A and B are shown apart, each in its own frame.
Chain A
Amino acid sequence: MDVLTRNNVSISGVGAQAMVFVHGFGCDQRMWRLVAPAYEARYQIVLLDLVGAGSSDLTAYEPGRYDSLRAHAEDVLAVLAALNLREVIFVGHSVSAMIGVLAAVQEPARIGRLVLVAPSPRFLNDTNYFGGFEPADIEELLQAMDDNYLGWSGAITPVIMGRPDRPELTAELNASFCRTDPTIARHFARVTFLSDNRADLALVPAPTLVLQCAHDALAPLAVGIYLHHQLPVNELVVLNTSGHCPHLSAPAATIRAIDHFLQGAASIPES
């Protein structure tokens, strides 16, 4: 299967440069619907589902391969290669912010700028580091996911047989928003919440925007400030919104911040 089908890639918009939006844990590409259209007039827009999420090829999710975020970063780079895209603006939410970081380190030529939405390089607390969570909290999340087993899997069938060419399934697909295979979700949760990408931050060559929510239980302000100190070339913007999904809870402010970053990016000195 080609990577564009595997990652359920959809392309829209017009422009010489491409913007690639990658969703976070617990959802799929449809979570960008309030933000991505704002860029369609200026950029080529590339949306994708991480393998294991949304309408990606769930059979491609081999737990052994996806045991680290690096595999997802390689997937993203494979999509960019298949589309022959370079110097894209990568917009990643939550875990995908770190997937973008890994991709930018691995193939600097592919990723020109990074927009990290509610990022966290490590969720677990550590010596001299406040991530916000203890291992027991993550165990509890996995338990909560088990308890929501049927909630995750309720619309599993239409996701698996997801056929954009069959309109009669569209309604069902709509209902399947953010639902996926519970076993995959559980594995992905473990990989997401136990990953530690702090060491990769200093290696990021691309100018980066850190979009921090003022009140985010998953990525507290302290994490945003940590990122600001670690990333070589970056701008930190704190959005006055609550929660972990500013692109849904405060789409206008999110778009303004990204616009400002993209306009100002030219003036950021390249080191």
Chain B
Amino acid sequence: MSTPDDELLPELDLRLTQENLDDLYEHAPCGYCSCLPDGTLVKLNHTLLSWLGYERPELVARRCLQQLFTVGGRLHYETHCVPLLLVRGQVRELSYSLRRKNGTTLPVLMNAQLVRDSNEQPLVVRVTLFDITERRKYEQELLRAKAQAEEQREQLARVNEQLTSKNEQLTRINSDLDNFVYTASHDLKQPIENMAGLFQELRRTVTFHDPEAAEMVSMFTQALQQILTTIKGLTEVVQLQRQLEQVPLEVVALQPFTEEIIGSLQQVNGQNAAFTLDFAAAPTVCMARPGLHSMLYNLLSNGLKYAEPGRPPHIRVSTTAADDATILSVQDNGRGIDLSRHGRQLFQLFRRFHPEVVGSGMGLYLVNRLAHQAGGRVEVDSTVGQGTTFRVYLPRHAASQPA
């Protein structure tokens, strides 16, 4: 019966209704076969026979479906496919390779259905096979890529393991070095202080007649002083390190903390320095208090110490919030550093770039070390004669984020 909808459909080519079912079976664009439950071939279509290169009488009743597979496929068929067929009544998309009469293989995808008789006994297995030559190539590519990815993952894991052990080794060496420095500075301190005392005594009791003696005595005193300063600095580095290992991280409000440091600096230097503080973008950082103190103290006192002669120092301390870090900047208008010459040595212990100013060569080493220990880093911009900006990147911890 035709409905109004049908009338809208295009007229069918009447030759289609004459589609011959036998011809459809024999020349279908896929392989068909039917087998007994044990696999014995009963019926095959022309497409499958032409794929295989066999004549019908060579196969029907003489060969089993699984005998057309390669050995591996046959094992898979017997152990996996047969149980599935007998229990579930069907299998879908099993991938096998057919062995042609001439020995070559053809990759196929197999669907099969078990038909049972009226007594529920297995009667026949209907099998459809699809040529998947191209698809098999892609699949093999995929599997190769997968194997490669797995291999790389394993490699990565191995490298990671090596890195971890290297890291542990370095940590151990570092701590040994700290111990060494501490012991050395401690052991040197006593004899040097003895020397200073003895020299003082010597100056008091001995008269030098050589006119150059006075200058040499003063140089000797200076040299002694320098050694003592260095030893003191070394001891401080190690002590600070030990202290940091015991002090917890905490959220520190920068405004009062910085003001306090500035207060103590002005008491010592009494300069007419100007300070600008701007912590609006990130008012707190999460760090161990002594570490932050040492870091800010060194950066600020550097700003004062290395002021351009004849120009009152102006130091700006501020924060900016980056994606995952708080950036603490200390900008001065001092004499600047030639980074193209000294950049690589900037944070090394005892490196000094302005010999005309008194210093220990410890400050920036400490600042850098403290930033690294906090999981961050230090960047520096500088123009000789104009000033320097230090930017300390401190990773943001959940606790330091504004509520």
**B87 and A148: CB pair below 8 A?**
no
Query: Smallest CB-CB separation from A146: which chain B residue?
Result: B143
A216–B79 alpha-carbon span in the complex (Å): 11
- B71: interface (CB < 8 Å): yes
CB distance from A111 to the nearest CB of B (A): 24
**B82 and A147: CB pair below 8 A?**
no
A243 neighbours in B (Cβ, 8 Å)? 38-39, 78, 82
Size of the chain B interface, CB-CB below 8 angstroms: 31
Tally A-B pairs: CB < 8 A: 106
**B79 and A25: CB pair below 8 A?**
yes
Choice from A144, A148, A216, A248 contacting B86 with Cβ under 8 Å: A248
CB distance from A135 to the nearest CB of B (A): 11
- A149: interface (CB < 8 Å): yes
- B136: interface (CB < 8 Å): yes
A148–B70 alpha-carbon span in the complex (Å): 14
A248–B79 alpha-carbon span in the complex (Å): 12
**B82 and A244: CB pair below 8 A?**
yes
Report the interface size class on chain A. 35 or more
Query: Smallest CB-CB separation from A26: which chain B residue?
Result: B79
**B83 and A248: CB pair below 8 A?**
yes
- B303: interface (CB < 8 Å): no
**A244 and B71: CB pair below 8 A?**
no
- A140: interface (CB < 8 Å): yes
Q: Which of A225-271 contact B (CB under 8 A)?
A: 241-245, 248-249
- A94: interface (CB < 8 Å): yes
A244 neighbours in B (Cβ, 8 Å)? 78-79, 82
A120–B66 alpha-carbon span in the complex (Å): 20
CB distance from A11 to the nearest CB of B (A): 21
- A30: interface (CB < 8 Å): yes
**A133 and B38: CB pair below 8 A?**
no
Q: Which of A129-161 contact B (CB under 8 A)?
A: 133, 136-151, 154
Query: Smallest CB-CB separation from B66: which chain A residue?
Result: A217
**B79 and A24: CB pair below 8 A?**
yes
**B78 and A178: CB pair below 8 A?**
no
Known A133-B71, A151-B93: A218·B79 in contact at CB below 8 Å? yes
- A27: interface (CB < 8 Å): yes
**B84 and A177: CB pair below 8 A?**
yes
B294 neighbours in A (Cβ, 8 Å)? none
A147–B39 alpha-carbon span in the complex (Å): 22
- B5: interface (CB < 8 Å): no
B64 neighbours in A (Cβ, 8 Å)? 242
- B94: interface (CB < 8 Å): yes
Q: Which of B127-152 contact A (CB under 8 A)?
A: 136, 139, 143
Q: Which of B76-114 contact A (CB under 8 A)?
A: 76, 78-80, 82-84, 86-88, 93-97, 107
A-B complex: 7 closest residue pairs judged by Cβ atoms: A140-B72, A242-B38, A26-B79, A144-B72, A141-B72, A26-B80, A248-B86
